[in-house]
A and B are shown apart, each in its own frame.
Chain A
């Protein structure tokens, strides 16, 4: 039975595309979100005037459901009524049809994910930055360190566990991406935005290949469980070190 699904897999042209897209997606989106979230958290923690407004606005996307975000950005990218192409039209540039262009669709969706989840990492990192003791950076400043040295040599090492946790959480969660792609492109054009979650959904519910869908769900679970187990062990070690 399992062999049958292996044969199906080899004959399935979508699998390489879905696998690669998922990989590109995760490998691009997570580092960018981490960098932006960390930079914004550090800058926001150093800024006092208007900080409450900045923080509220920056964390806003993390509170919205994925369906809402998919719907919003589908409108944003629309050729006729989307804000992006309308603004380009003001400068007499005919904007691309973002979600219908095989080369632009995946980057456009990555952009949406960055918009959505940078907010989440910003919140996590902000909590980490605010938890840093003021004494060490004060002492370094007395010793003549400048702001960049303090951030690079004192803040970042102290934030390392928080950063690692945030990155692992996002790595595991980025593979979930479904609603946004389902609403914006449904995996198209052709297979250019096909990803793991969406493809399993389609195998089940538009191709009605229940066994094959289960096979892929199992494989995805196995791959992800490596990361999940690693995350759990890492957390466990941190807890034990914190308790000691």
Chain B
């Protein structure tokens, strides 16, 4: 019995280790590439001198500028989505709506969130061209808001629904307005939920590629597509 148990433990660890290796090897390989000279990699030698020159090249290119663009876009998207999402979520969670309205709005937001982003690419592109924000950070940011706003609203809805109603009722008895209740009672209580939502919204915008690709035209993206080594380490391409 104990021998069999022992065997199964060995099998379990073996399975997990095999899969961890499978998961880690591509990442480790790319990291190792980033420290080696191109000629050594092409030669297929596994033991070769290490270098930081790839990183020097990276920072001499406009990588930092691109990084800053990504950060700013993601930050703006997060702020807009979470602010508007919080207002929408609070309204949906607390005010009295006719059931079809409420379910309709929530169902539509879920629906938009689940469809692939390629479906909205055409209209967004034409819209951006027509109102003159094509190829600008503003356009990409608005594109990301399309994805992030329903996402943030739906997440925040759960957090606001968990706020005890009694607290808000107590504030209402003290003649607090709806705005005061929202900013002074509901927001402070759900603060951790809002922070978590903000982080996730940031990551969604940071990882998003298609809208940034479609709503800009500068050749920055072509750098990303070339198979040069640099791109292994700067694999994030944003406006």
Residues of A with C-beta under 8 A to B178 = none
Q: CA–CA, A76 to B232, complex, Å?
A: 10
Q: Check A228 against B25 for contact (C-beta < 8 Å).
A: no
- Closest chain B CB from A85 CB (angstroms): 9
B172 at the A/B interface (Cβ < 8 Å)? no
Q: Check A200 against B121 for contact (C-beta < 8 Å).
A: yes
Contact-size category for A: 35 or more
What is the predominant secondary structure among interface residues of chain B facing chain A?
Answer: helix
Tell me which of B26-34, B59-67, B88-96, B189-197 binds A: B26-34
Tell me which of B77-85, B111-119, B130-138 binds A: B111-119
Of B12, B23, B213, which is within 8 A of A57 by CB?
A: B23
Among the interface residues B8, B16, B117, which one has the most CB atoms of the partner chain A within 10 A?
Answer: B16
- Closest chain A CB from B35 CB (angstroms): 14
Residues of A with C-beta under 8 A to B146 = none
CB-CB nearest in chain B for A215: B122
- Closest chain A CB from B112 CB (angstroms): 10
How many B residues, CB 8 Å from partner?
50
B224 at the A/B interface (Cβ < 8 Å)? yes
Further 14 A-B residue pairs, CB within 8 A, beyond A65-B209, A179-B210, A200-B118: A50-B16, A58-B23, A65-B207, A67-B235, A71-B231, A72-B30, A75-B29, A76-B26, A81-B42, A176-B117, A178-B210, A183-B224, A196-B118, A200-B119
Interface positions of B (Cβ within 8 A of A): 8-9, 12-13, 15-16, 19-20, 22-27, 29-30, 33, 41-42, 44, 46, 107, 110-111, 114-123, 125-126, 206-207, 209-210, 213-214, 224-225, 227, 231-232, 235-237
**The 9 residue pairs across chains A and B that have the minimum distance between CB atoms:** A65-B207, A68-B235, A71-B235, A176-B116, A57-B20, A197-B118, A81-B41, A217-B119, A228-B114
A–B Cβ pairs within 8 angstroms, 6 of them: A50-B16, A80-B42, A176-B116, A201-B214, A221-B119, A232-B111
